[in-house]
Amino acid sequence: MSDLLRWSPFERRSPFEMMEPLRRLFEGESEKSMIRVEEEVKDNVLTIRAELPGIDPEKDVEISVSEGQLHIRGERREESEQKEKGTYRSEFRYGSFYRSVPLPKGIKDGDITATYKDGVLEVKAPVPQPAAEEEPQKIQITRG
């Protein structure tokens, strides 16, 4: 019987290997899995950070804006191999991801910028200042 087919509950495995099924359960292996993002408005600039490790942003990610929403979509491909004393393990994952984030009113598409560094996609957009509310004008009522 091959080593690849034999399993023993007493076999020593790394904690990371044992956690893999749980990671798959909680992260989801769906075709359109969600991207984790954080949003922040500071000094009138909206910053959206998306966690996208291990991708090539020029090939694998598309950012667009429509109907007041920022759309981030892409595809991920990961492969790993482990060769140890008489054993071989290969694993690959691939699939598409998508996230839509509502934008404040008045953001202009041309003002939005995006950068990618250390596995984090950062999208920035200046937030327009709301117009100052005018004092209500009193309307005089005349008898007719």
What would the mean pLDDT of 63-71 be, rounded to a whole number?
A: 92
- Structural domain of 69: 32-126
Q: Per-residue pLDDT tens for 34-47?
A: 788 999 999 999 99
- How many domains are there within the chain? 1
Joined tokens for residue 47: 């910053």
Whole-model pTM: value is 0.61
What are the pLDDT digits (tens) for 90-143? 877 778 888 999 998 889 889 999 999 999 999 999 998 877 777 888 888 988
pLDDT of residue 89: 82
Query: For the domain that residue 76 is a member of, what is the CATH number?
Result: 2.60.40.790
Q: What DSSP string runs through 57-100? A: HHHHEEEEEETTEEEEEEEEEEEEEEEETTEEEEEEEEEEEEEE
